Amino acid sequence: MCGIIAYSGQRKALPILVAGLRRLEYRGYDSAGIALHRRGRFATWRAAGKLSQLEARLPAQSGAKCGMGHTRWATHGEATDSNAHPHHSPDGRIAIIHNGIIENATALRGALQADGAVFNSETDSEILAHLVAMHPADSLRDSVRLALRQVQGTYGLVVMDASRPGELVAARNGSPVIIGVGEREMFITSDANAILTHTREVVHLEDGELATVQARIFSIATMDESMISRPPVTLDHSPEALSRDGYDHYMLKEIEEQPEAIARTLGGRLDRQFGTAHLGGLNLSARELRDIRRVRFLGCGSAYYAGISGANMIESLARLPAASEPAAEFRYRNPVIENDTLYIAVSQSGETFDTLAAIREVRSRGGRVLGICNVVGSSIAREVDGGVFMHVGPEISVASTKAFSGMLACFMLLALQLGRIRDISPQRGDELVEAIGELPGLIRNALGESPRIREIAARYHGASSAFYIGRTDAYPVALEGAQKLKEISYVHAEAYPASELKHGPLALIDPDTPTLVVLPDNDLLDKSLSSLQEIRARRGPVIAVTNSGREDIHSLADDVICSPPCHPLLHPLVMNVGLQLFAYHTAVLMGRDVDQPRNLAKSVTVE
């Protein structure tokens, strides 16, 4: 969740570090800091709050050509100047920045204090600086290795030694660390977006590895001192993809990008000749796919909600039992892992810690795990047995929009491929291929409702709570809609299956609490309208979200968010667009920080 950027090279480090921290802001943070290494000592600046608070304290310029910067999301200790990174050893010789959590921090701190150590922060991270300084060795990497042998927990770590100019040591266990390889310069970061303007050549550290990095060279070793040879790989997106392109917010840009993003997700994967889809990255033959007896999606937040929709698609088209589970809870309930179950881990960033932990639990018990994510080279992409990249492009806003849609598009393709192997006729396959191919145009039509949706949001943005309801495949749309509203507007929002409304939540309906009712044009429309009537009978305001042209919907609802008619398989993705826009416009009208909502981070890399 925190951000790391470090540099060693021929250029002045300070502007590179500040620009890198700017690129990392979207991940979420509450303090920031920079340490520069020059003439055998460190100069360090730290500040709680936004990066502008730190920039106000920085010098206009510095000749230092090596340094590191950090954005912190508070875990141990509040968001204060003293808790911000970098942290130093008592003698000032060692400086560190750290992502992750040291699980035995209390015991380590107690032992160090018993030996007379004095700490300047409440963080678990400062302990690492003390430990590295306590282990003098022939190399800084050896000092870091010896220190880390005492540590339990997760870390993405960068260390500098004042006596070793131009040298950085990085280490990884459960938190991403990436080396950027430039021309006579090197970078270390937790997120490749931070260095794209300088290089697209990167090397990913694996868990249990350490790297020594200098301006012209890097080397990698394991904790048992075995050397690793790993050539750089080239990233597949450009720095231009990270700009706002004139939009007020990244979130709006990413909502508007969805037609092109979904076209990339579908590109080359629909087989019109045989009425099916081909997801080559699954690494499973048709015979192996036929042997699957059930499917389990594992994800967190929006990825979990997307998985519910994906499970509906799998059951409908492939006639396989399917379900979605919160990855964070999965491994703690001693799950039954079956050989004929296909587990699918879902994550935008590919670095979500809880999802990674669920993957490792399944694999440790002999299960087979596929991944669906957006970031090539991410931890999940490297640890699963196969999978699918969404290819929706970088997503900068904390609230997921185009990546959520990309997940649903991938699930449609998977459901179609499994369905054609198991149950679907060629004729129905042709129909589904044709329908899925229309997605980009349908999304573009849905985006055309934005001005009307803003008018609706203006009527309700003063509400303190909202309900979202939907039946069957509309329920995960309601869940995601409520998630978006609460994330970026801070309005309390809850989602329920429409059939559950009368089993308790109806008690909370009142004239000040709007309910958004998701009403796809399907066989359950009349039943869903009954739920709408129950709300109206209690004088609750109703916003209908529908792709049906029935006049009674417009007469019964106070307002209507219209979605273009489409094949039922496409309902969740297409109808979700209107709810994304409703949340966005509500948050803007309330003056919220849309791209960086409070307390949240883009990539949750701690437990």
**Residue numbers annotated as active site:** 2, 602
Dihedral sign (CA 258, 263, 266, 270): positive
243: which 2 tokens? 């700009």
The region that residue 172 occupies, defined by phi over 0 for left and psi between -120 and 50 for alpha, beta otherwise, is beta
C-alpha dist (Å) from residue 414 to 266, 491, 552: 11, 35, 36
The residues with which 502 forms a beta bridge, in sequence order, are: none
What is the pairing mode between strands 559-562 and 542-546? parallel
Q: Is 270 helix (H, G, I), strand (E, B) or coil?
A: strand
The residues with which 172 forms a beta bridge, in sequence order, are: 156, 209
341: which 2 tokens? 């179950």
SS3 content of the chain, % helix, strand, coil (to 5): 40, 25, 40
How far is residue 573's CA from residue 474's CA, in Å, rounded to a whole number? 10
Per-residue DSSP letter, 323: E
How far is residue 278's CA from residue 294's CA, in Å, rounded to a whole number? 20
Pick from 103, 72, 68, 116: nearest CA to 88: 68
Mention every residue, 6+ apart, whose C-beta is less than 8 A from residue 159: 94, 95, 96, 128, 132, 140, 144, 168, 169, 170, 171
What is the pairing mode between strands 94-99 and 168-173? unpaired
Helices (H), 149-191: none
In the block, which residue shows the tokens 């021929």?
A: 10
Q: Is 311 helix (H, G, I), strand (E, B) or coil?
A: helix
Cis peptide before 451 (omega within 30 of 0): no
How far is residue 11's CA from residue 183's CA, in Å, rounded to a whole number? 11
How far is residue 214's CA from residue 7's CA, in Å, rounded to a whole number? 9
271: which 2 tokens? 């087989």
Q: Which helix (H) or strand (E) holds 532?
A: helix 525-537
In the block, which residue shows the tokens 């209690």?
A: 538
Q: Decide if 237 contacts 393 (C-beta within 8 A).
A: yes
584: which 2 tokens? 């966005």
Q: Decide if 176 contacts 218 (C-beta within 8 A).
A: no
CA angle 544, 547, 548 (to 5 degrees): 90
Amino acid at residue number 219: S
Pick from 18, 29, 20: nearest CA to 99: 29
Mention every residue, 6+ apart, whose C-beta is less than 8 A from residue 51: 18, 21, 22, 25, 32, 71
CA 480 to chain centre: 15
233: which 2 tokens? 């790989």
